[in-house]
Amino acid sequence: DPERSGVSSISVPVPRNRPTNEFNKYRSPLVSRYASKEMAYNFSDRKKFTTWRKLWIYLAKAEKALGLPITEAQVAEMETHAEDIDFAMAAEEESKLRHDVMAHVHTFAHCCPAAAPIIHLGATSCYVGDNTDLIMLRDGFDILLPKLARVIDRLSNFAEKYAGLPTLGFTHYQPAQLTTVGKRACLWLQDLAMDMRNLQRARKDLRFRGVKGTTGTQASFLQLFQGDHDKVEDLDRMVTEMAGFKKAYMVTGQTYSRKVDIDSLSHLASMGATIHKICTDIRLLANLKEIEEPFEKEQIGSSAMPYKRNPMRCERCCSLARHLIALLADPLQTASVQWLERTLDDSANRRISLPESFLTADIILSTLQNITEGLVVYPKVIERHIRHELPFMATENIIMAMVKAGGNRQDCHEKIRVLSQQAATVVKQEGGDNDLLARVQADPYFAPVLGHLDNILDPKTFIGRAPQQVARFLSEEVRPLLEPYKAEIDVKIELEL
């Protein structure tokens, strides 16, 4: 059962043996190739239409409790058939009625003849449509948040392990002052922590549309309860609580404000930007052969170039993250053109943009978890790159050491400048190694500091407080953020590529 709790593993299945006729029609790769079973189910027809039936049951129970002539037998009949959906009948009814909600009202009524008169009593289509969407958004966040926590946990372990490993920093993708591998990972973690807080807030801010009627005035329910405003408010509150929400939106049109969709999808798009940046960084570092994503023993990087180890997981994340970012345009434009109490031009768009945003976010988080669980670091390659650039970066340290030994700063600066230009010519024009250090050692002017060059050129003297920053950041900001998800942190990812 996809709704069960305590799932011990997550898989991203690729169907292997579908019926032949299944290959004759388009199937979204978000579901058929990538997404987890949990998220695919969350936006499935079965989840949607069983939720409609649950909402009709909540409404009937609350109306009965508040005095409307609804019997226990009618409610029991609805509960018995809540999962018993004849999809073929519903499709046939919709082809006749051209109305999906009424098609399912009739289908539900067919198996609940005693309850038929009170199903959907006083409600409008958006009672089930919008409230179900809000439930799916809430449950979607509940699937994503533990996955994001696992990514943060894996990357935190990585940052801690390599907190003190010096590496070249880059600005403009040009070699800059040293940082550490762990400190760079903390830059990624800081963005992911912001995404975590954003998703938590968006999930917490979600409310229920509740029981509001056709244009949001609750007029039909006021008639049902013969003008008793308190009972109408009680009805709204009771159904909201049965659906698992603490609050309902106090005012709505026929729909809840479509700005709610913007709020939800904007944070998913923002997370997409974070993951695109992280995976792009890993791709750049893979080109330098400093860090690589996991690579399977029998994985093929290229059909023509057997030596290649392509960062295909990161490329997948970047590819799908672009889609996630682009989807934000849909709710922005939809909210801007909702006329007065509502128009129906939102419906077809939201059927695509809401599920696809959550499915895409689900996929890239699962893939990123797999990446962060198996990142490979090559310290010797990193060390070689440092040795190639460090002599240039150490020139100021050499000058200061010479001054301490009694030298003149301006004279030393000029000596170093000339030698640096000569070394740069060897590197850039002749394709040779950086020989600045050898030039310094060969010049009698620098004799006073030659005995200290090893210390002056120790990479760990160039990383500042990076290790201390990593330790404090993980302790004070990252680990506390993971506390609510401790029970779900150890779930492993099974990624089919």
- Catalytic residues, by residue number, are 172, 302
The rounded distance, in Å, linking the Cα atoms of 488 and 490 is: 6
CA atoms within a 13 Å half-sphere pointing along the CA-CB vector of 376: 13
Q: Which amino acid is at 79?
A: E
The rounded distance, in Å, linking the Cα atoms of 161 and 166 is: 12
Q: Are strands 376-377 and 291-292 parallel, antiparallel or unpaired?
A: antiparallel
User: Using an 8 Å Cβ cutoff, are 318 and 97 in contact?
Assistant: no
Q: Which amino acid is at 286?
A: A
Tokens 């004849």 correspond to what residue?
Answer: 86
Chain centroid, CA 445 distance in Å: 57
- Give the DSSP H/E element, type plus range, for residue 89: helix 87-97
The rounded distance, in Å, linking the Cα atoms of 300 and 412 is: 53
Three-state DSSP class for 401?
helix
The burial of 5, by beta-carbon neighbours within 10 Å (0-12 exposed, 13-18 middle, 19 or more buried), is given as exposed
User: Using an 8 Å Cβ cutoff, are 158 and 374 in contact?
Assistant: no
227 token code pair: 């003008």
| DSSP type of residue 180 | E
Smallest CA-to-CA distance from 383 within 181, 136, 94, 212 is with 181
Helix, strand, coil in percent for the chain, rounding step 5: 65, 5, 30
- Which residues are bridge partners to 263 per DSSP? none
| Phi and psi angles of residue 375, each rounded to the nearest 5 degrees, phi first | -60, 135
Smallest CA-to-CA distance from 437 within 421, 455, 457, 451 is with 457
CA dist 89 to 78, 100, 108, 113, 132, Å?
17, 12, 10, 15, 21
102 token code pair: 């009424």
Rounding to the nearest 10 degrees, give the CA dihedral for residues 242, 247, 249, 250: 110
User: Using an 8 Å Cβ cutoff, are 122 and 213 in contact?
Assistant: yes
* Total length of the chain: 497
Residue 341: partners with Cβ closer than 8 Å, 6 or more residues away: 215, 216, 253, 254
| DSSP type of residue 98 | S
64 token code pair: 């009965």
